[in-house]
Amino acid sequence: MKSIYSCYLNIDHVIKPIVLEVLNENNISIEEKDIFNSDFAITNEELNYSFPHIVVKENIEEINSKILFKYDGIGFILSSFDKDLIRISIQNAIYFVMSRGSKGAFKLRIQNELDKINRNGGSFSLAYVSIMDFYKFKNYLSNINIDDTVKEILKMIKVSTRKTDEVMKISRKEFGIMLPNTELRNAEIACERIKRRVSKIKNINFDVNLAFGITQVSDPQESIDEIMERLKKALYISEGNNGEIDFL
């Protein structure tokens, strides 16, 4: 079975082989280049920005709990942990990202909807939303202010969609929207509404611009990878067109 969840692994610790073994047992792939392409991270140090992560330390005195849990820390692994405790820590990470949203959680939600249309027919639409020029924020805002701004954008997306829609934060700068029983045109209207609402955010000194990739799914046999690839392609076209909503 192809991995749905991925972990950014950045540790140089004696228990790394055990961590790798447990990740493999849970069918979690390893992301080595970009932390934001993963669902959660296992790192040597506490992160100073919001991202689900587990920190690995020799002993509990080395853990900066104030920083760890301020920035979406899930927990910790100590060198004294046996395989069962490491397994529990990693499974807790999966539960965390499932409830909070992540790329893996979004893929799982797509699979659930594919199962529904396989049983009952119909179709659904998806939107992949990205904050354009995200890293320019670093020129103006602290990590805390960036995270607060992203939370405000997420709030605006949620109030712009229906109760039957599902909105997930799937990376630090990306959001996924599931729109059940929705045709492409109505998904486009929803994204236009999001765009207008987000443009009114006033807590920063420059405009927030979003890019949108949307697609409609009607074939229950289509693979998640094919769907995600189509969404990403539409998103990249939108980013190249200054945020114009694009669909494939």
Domains of the chain listed by start with CATH number: 6-99 (3.40.50.2300), 103-247 (3.30.70.270)
Q: Provide the pLDDT for residue 103.
A: 84
CA dist list (Å): 168 to 81, 151, 173, 181 = 33, 11, 11, 18
Task: Assess whether pLDDT exceeds 90 at residue 179.
Answer: yes
Tokens of 237: 């076209």
Between 233 and 50, name the one with better pLDDT: 233
Q: What per-residue confidence (pLDDT) applies to 203?
A: 59
> What is d(CA 112, CA 110) in angstroms, rounded to the nearest whole number?
5
Q: Are 226 and 110 in contact (CB under 8 A)?
A: no
Structure-model confidence comparison of residues 156 and 248, the more confident one:
156
pLDDT: which is higher, 129 or 140:
129
pLDDT digit string (tens) for 25-63?
888 899 888 888 888 999 999 988 878 889 999 888 998
Between 69 and 30, the higher pLDDT residue: 30
Q: Is the pTM of this model over 0.75?
A: no
pLDDT at position 72 is 77
What is the average per-residue pLDDT within 129-150? 74
